[in-house]
Amino acid sequence: MAISNDLLSSTLYSIRDGEVDELFQKVAFLDNAKRYGGIEYEDGGIKIQRPLSIAEHSQITNLPTGYEAVNLAVKDVLQPAIYEWADFTAPIVITKKEELENKGEKAIVKIVEARMRSVMGMLRRELNKQLLRGNSTILTTVNTLNGDVLGGFLEAETKTQQGIAGNTVGGISKQTYPVNGWLNQFADIQGNFGTNGILGMQQMAIQANTVTHMGEIQCVLLSEAAMANYRRALFAQERYINEKTLDGGRMQLAFGGAVVEQDLELGFTYNASTGAAPLSGYFLNFDGVKLCMHKDADFAVSPFEHVSGTTARAAQLYVKMQLIADHLGSQGLLVDGEVYN
């Protein structure tokens, strides 16, 4: 007896939510984005548009007597940052040959489940690689927010160097508008975490926290070596270490009010104006960086249908998303923190 398309489709629908939850749970960037409000859902639109404040809207008038004329001059200070959507899909396919060779509904359902998990596993790996390194060969339309092709989604340069380089994010040049909201923070540990690590992290967090009205750093992602160095530095300074294991097996420390997690995609070598050095970590405030998802294409699955001209049946997993910035100055990038001393 043939297995119906409805049965295959209902199998996908039944496991879809759990697979999406696991994808987010196993990727530190995505899990923390979800936890701290960094996932936003859009109704549609050809492009995503966000306002960037490029100057002060009005002037302050001092009133020593109370009779002074108020300066009512105002400026149009909002510049739209515009982002293209990233669309991608992956099929889940089963052939007539496979149906005949795997007797019974349970066997067929297990094949569909295994293929869905395989597709989600691939998306998890490639999405994390593109978000943190910018070097996925598959999800190339998902933004890096550094405006160039050096890797990573923040620029591995000082704010002055970012302004000189003039890279463009969301269609807005950092050279034309070198404002706090469009220049990310940067700290170079110079290959000596024992001496410079915690101090550099503290200074960068202070800079990120003071240039924005969007709150404070919520999450720090470190490479494997930088995470080990951070833990070692805490021991050396006899600081309390609050370590816990999260669902999915991820280990978590704390840095002030922020969580600190390890991601194996970090620690890669970048090349910038300061020279070649490992990218050791990100300081993230998800009030300023968002992963936008289309509400009707957030890992949506279509029903199974026969594929014309073949004996196969296929469903589609469809995603429409983009990484965007509201305030890059509230984010930070840590480099050359792989060696303790």
User: pLDDT tens for residues 117-127?
Assistant: 999 999 999 99
Segment 313-331 shows an average pLDDT of 94
Q: Which residue has the higher pLDDT, 58 or 154?
A: 154
Residue % of the chain over a pLDDT of 90: 55
CA distance 2 to 219: 50
pLDDT of residue 276: 78
The parent domain of residue 295 ranges over 1-341
Is residue 302 very low, low, confident or very high in pLDDT (cuts 50, 70, 90)? Answer: very high
pLDDT of residue 338: 96
pLDDT of residue 35: 94
The overall average pLDDT reported for the chain is 87
270 Cβ contact list (under 8 Å, min separation 6): 150, 151, 152, 156, 276, 277, 278, 279, 335
Does position 74 have pLDDT exceeding 70, yes or no?
no
> Domain of 333: which CATH number?
3.90.1690
195 Cβ contact list (under 8 Å, min separation 6): 341
Q: Which residue has the higher pLDDT, 228 or 247?
A: 228
Q: Which residue has the higher pLDDT, 4 or 166?
A: 4
Task: Find the largest Cα–Cα distance for the chain.
Answer: 91
pLDDT of residue 163: 84
Residue with tokens 């800079």: 207
Does position 44 have pLDDT exceeding 90, yes or no?
no
Helix segments in 211-289, DSSP class H: 224-236
Q: Give the range among 16-30, 61-75, 90-104 with minimum mean pLDDT.
A: 61-75
Phi, psi of 34 (to 5 degrees): -65, -40
CA distance 54 to 79: 7
Quick: pLDDT tens for 189-240.
999 999 999 999 999 999 999 887 778 999 999 999 999 999 999 887 755 5
- Partners of residue 271 on adjacent β-strands: 276
**Residue 248 per-residue DSSP state:** T
Instruction: Assess contact for 264 and 305: CB atoms under 8 A.
Output: no
Total structural domains in the chain?
1
